[in-house]
Chains A and B, each alone.
Chain A
């Protein structure tokens, strides 16, 4: 059971994440195409941080967050490497999705 203050904090953190995603959506209209994937990965990274602060991020998510924190910088620097990185994320998350089914 969360205290009133904890609930307020969680709602505030969720609101910040929503702001980030909405502003990213607006920005992607004008910004270079390559920024889109970066914004989505940033959103996932922020979501995992939020879950982790709530004690809801498992080892898999924490590991992936570390991967994303470094791998996202391939965007704009190494296009081929970034594609390989995002392909690997897709497979890793999909496999985890299969495993997590209940």
Chain B
């Protein structure tokens, strides 16, 4: 598929079949994530992958944003050692990387969702989960903080695309070369 076609085909899927997500596909999704750009090339992401049904159920119990019955979860975690972790660093270059941290995680998550679309999987980015509870359930070391969950599975049905604004409505100003209108 052309890139723009994949982008337009992606949906936030919240209803999945019982079909398990293959391990080789999950590996490809992680590969897509690690090729995301990041501020200062810090690559602040690490992931936890969850496949067993009951483990997913436990994560769902502390993640109101996960709807449906996904076949796998990818929990994107920020590595504090790569982005800075305290207020004194604010304003320094480390502080700046901290500011970029969630942008970087978001880009990596988008890469996952686009690759998932290409592989015939449904995906949904979820921010509505309790970070402390997910850390506890998954025994995530202190160094990492879960920032975003991507739920995955084979779609039960694909939702319609919500309306989008046009290019014209989106551009505030388009400063064109002299002489062009």
Contact = CB atoms under 8 A, between A and B. Distances in A.
Interface string B149-160: 000000000010
B130 A26 contact: yes
Contacts of B61: 16-17, 19-20, 23
B63 interface: yes
A27 B128 contact: yes
B62 interface: yes
Interface string A1-41: 00000000000000011011001101100010001000100
Interface string A55-96: 000000000000000000100010000000000000000000
A20 B133 CA distance: 11
Contact of B133 (A23, A31, A73, A77): A23
B162 A27 contact: no
Interface of A, secondary structure class, is: helix
Interface residues on B, range: 10 to 19
Contacts of B130: 23, 26-27
Interface string B111-141: 0000000000000000011100100000000
Contacts, number: 32
Given A16-B57, A19-B133, A35 B128 contact: yes
A35 B60 CA distance: 16
B37 interface: no
B162 A77 contact: yes
Nearest to A39: B64
B14 A27 contact: no
Nearest to A16: B61
A39 B129 CA distance: 12
Interface of B: 14, 57-58, 60-64, 67, 128-130, 133, 159, 162
27 contacts: A16-B57, A16-B58, A17-B61, A19-B61, A19-B62, A19-B133, A20-B61, A20-B62, A20-B64, A23-B62, A23-B63, A23-B64, A23-B130, A23-B133, A24-B64, A26-B130, A27-B64, A27-B128, A27-B130, A31-B128, A35-B64, A35-B128, A42-B64, A42-B67, A73-B14, A73-B159, A77-B162
